[in-house]
Amino acid sequence: MSLHDDVEEILLDSQTVATRVAELGAQLSADYAGRDPVLVSVLKGALVFLADLMRAMDLPSSIDLMEVSSYAGTETSGQVRILKDLSKPIEGRDVIVVEDIIDTGLTLNYLLGYLADRQPASIKICCLLDKPARRLADIPIDYIGFTIPDRFVIGYGLDYEERYRNLPYIGVLKPSVYGGARPEG
């Protein structure tokens, strides 16, 4: 049995994703020309996107990683906890928050306030996938890879129970895999 067998459909193939990530990298390179932004990513889902995005950027930059938790099982708890904080100060820096997917926006909304308290020069958001149908918080997304429908997606870093992150495309997980109950994601 292969991980691919659990995929109902391929929403975005690997070439489509690679092309769009390259476009985002070029756009960020142009917008941040002459500056040295720090890319801040939330573990673990955005790691694949972060790695490809930073390689697509042609400007000096650095990265930092955070880990947050707002889920208990497959449902959001509404309580955000910082499990791993930034390793370097961001005061006076241009910050680009790199996200894999923006769904309800509640965790990111909390994170934006948390980062703003650190007095960066600017904060912008770059997300690979935007799922506006489930949005509960008004999030100003500056760079969007793709707007997707309200489907449970996996691959290219996105997971279900820590599996499927290594798929080279964005796929829709078969409901039979997660028992038909809709998980967050």
E-strand stretches of 38-89: 38-42, 62-72, 75-84
User: Beta 122-130 vs 94-102: how paired, if at all?
Assistant: parallel
3-state secondary structure at position 68: strand
3-state DSSP of 124-168? EEEEEEECHHHCCCCCCCCEEEEECCCCCEEECCECECCECCCCC
Instruction: Establish whether 150 is a catalytic residue.
Output: no
Say if residue 44 is preceded by a cis peptide, omega within 30 of 0. yes
Q: What share of the chain is helix, strand, coil (3-state, %, to 5)?
A: 25, 35, 40
Q: Which of 58, 103, 117, 130 is catalytic?
A: 103
- Residues designated as active site: 103
